[in-house]
Amino acid sequence: MEIFRKEGLTDFDDHAEKILLHARSEYEKTDENFKIAITNQEQLAVAEIRKLIEQASKERNRTEEVRPPTDAFTFKIKTPYE
């Protein structure tokens, strides 16, 4: 517990996200290389998310293009009563 007290992480009631955000802000204040690395990682993540969204959009459009017309599979069975 001493390490948490030393790093200023004892006021967070074990909320992992709060601990990580606080640690990040503290390291960004003192370590320029860390700040640059985090910024680069965020930019890469955003670029990858955009690619995934674009791919999903293309996939959706492609499946809609090959969808048969609504009456393509309709047929009528001739019954003896007709």
Place of tokens 């017309």: 69
Q: Tell whether 40 is covered by a domain.
A: yes
- Which residue range is the domain that position 13 belongs to? 2-64
Q: Tell whether 60 is covered by a domain.
A: yes
How many domains in the chain?
1
Length of the chain measured in residues = 82
Q: Tell whether 52 is covered by a domain.
A: yes
Q: Tell whether 18 is covered by a domain.
A: yes
Q: Tell whether 74 is covered by a domain.
A: no
Q: Tell whether 21 is covered by a domain.
A: yes
Q: Tell whether 49 is covered by a domain.
A: yes
What distance in Å separates the CA atoms of residue 80 and residue 78, rounded to the nearest whole number? 7
Pair of tokens at residue 65: 């293009």
Q: Tell whether 72 is covered by a domain.
A: no
pLDDT of residue 37: 93
User: What are the pLDDT tens digits along the chain (82 aa)?
Assistant: 577 677 666 665 667 788 888 888 999 999 999 999 999 999 999 999 999 999 888 877 665 555 556 665 555 556 665 5
